[in-house]
Structures are given as structure tokens and as C-alpha cells.
Amino acid sequence: MSPFGREGVGRSGVGVAQLKRKRVKLTRVEKSEETRKALFDAAAKIVGKYGYEGASISRITTRAKVAQGTFYNYFETRQDLLDQLLPEMGELMLDYLRTHMNPDAKGWRREEERLRAYFDFLALNPWFHRLVNEAETLAPKAHKTYFTKISAGYVRSIRRAIKSGEIKNFVESDLEPLTYMLMSIRTYLAQRYAYSNGSVRVPDEQVIKAYVKFVRSGLYGE
């Protein structure tokens, strides 16, 4: 009989699967990436609480549970981190939207899915709005990179909708203005209805319905 018995548990009470997990060690590259992600995550939350100006290296490394000297293995300066922070967190937001939107949604329903997923992301990551808003003046390089990437993805989405005939009343030259209109609406709806007294919540259903009505009639002509 196996030393782990029929249930796969040894004398110490540790299961086979647990022993296997204990034997797994991260490679140096994996450990490095974990530390890098921990620093970004800590920085995002510190900015959310104290703002960019209050995001000191000491606060960031303390939250990330790494030594201050370790910080300089990943970033040349505090500003170097801040210049990378918003684009990095923007990727996190985009990944969330991709995985929480119905891939089969078409037309205005896709825009509804996108808005709902965005509000859900903000509720889970209340630091994000401040990260974006203060970046324009305190991390302008990051702000420009973030909006360039976000708008480019949105342009591609609307372009596909125009080519497929889902959107009939707009043409290629309308793409960028349309993208920024939709992004602006989303941002200001969040500012007005999602954020309150330092906390974040998903806005009332009526707010989403009003947005859907606007997009459905104004963009998709239904």
C-alpha cells in the first residue's frame, strides 16, 4: 500500500497534492516578475489613498513588503515607476473587460457589456479613478501612453462595427471623435455616479439604461 494510504494522506496529515505544491519553486525570473507586480500593485493602492504626491518609495515598498533597496532593481527613480504605472494598470483593466464581457454580444449590447464591466472593475479597484485623473499633471507621460492605447483599442472595435454594418450612420473619419466621446461619457458617469465619499459602487441601473438608450439610438440608429 502507498505510504499515503487510500486517501492520499501521509502520517503528517499532508496530502500528496500539498507535497507537490511545496516542492514547486519559482524560478528567478518568476520571482522577479512577482516582485515587479507587487510594486505596481502597491503603488496603485498608495496613489489611490495618498495621491501621486504622497506615493513615496517608502510607502510603496512597505506595502509591497520588499526592501527599499529592492525598488531600484526595477525602477531608476520614483518617477520612473509612476511613468509606467498607469499603462500597466490600464492593461489590468482591459484584461478584466475582455474576460468579463460576453464575447458573443453585438452592437449596442457590446457597449452595455463594456460599461457594466468597467463599473465592476472600478468597484473592485477603487484606486483606479484617482490614478487616471491625477496622471495628467503628475505623470503626463503615463497619461498619454494610457489614453493612446485605450483609444486605439476602442477605435478598432468601432471600426469592426462599421465594417460589419452594425453602425450605419458613421464613417472611418468619425472613428477617433466617436471613441473619445464614448470614453468621456464613461469617465464622467463614473465620476458622478460611481464615486462617493471615498468609496466606489456600481451606479444605479437607470444610469446604465440611459447610456444604453443613448448609444442604441445615437450610435447604432435603432
Between the alpha carbon of residue 63 and those of residues 33, 34, 221, the distances in Å are 17, 14, 49
Residue with the bigger pLDDT between 11 and 136: it is: 136
Q: Tell me the pLDDT band of 21, cut-offs 50, 70 and 90.
A: low
Q: What residues does each domain of the chain span?
A: 16-218
Q: How far apart are the first and last CA of the chain?
A: 70
Q: Tell me the pLDDT band of 9, cut-offs 50, 70 and 90.
A: very low
Q: Tell me the pLDDT band of 23, cut-offs 50, 70 and 90.
A: low
CA–CA separation, 118 vs 191, rounded Å? 13
| CA dihedral over 111, 113, 114, 120, signed as positive or negative | positive
**pLDDT tens for each residue of 30-61:** 899 999 999 999 999 999 999 999 999 999 99
Q: Which residues, 6 or more positions from 93, have their beta carbon under 8 angstroms from its beta carbon?
A: 118, 121, 125, 128
Mean pLDDT of the 1-15 span: 42
**pLDDT tens for each residue of 182-196:** 999 999 999 999 987
**pLDDT tens for each residue of 61-83:** 999 999 999 999 999 999 999 99
Confidence check: pLDDT of 1 > 50: no
**CB contact at 8 A, 153 and 94:** yes
- Evaluate whether the domain defined by 16-218 bears CATH number 3.20.20.140: no
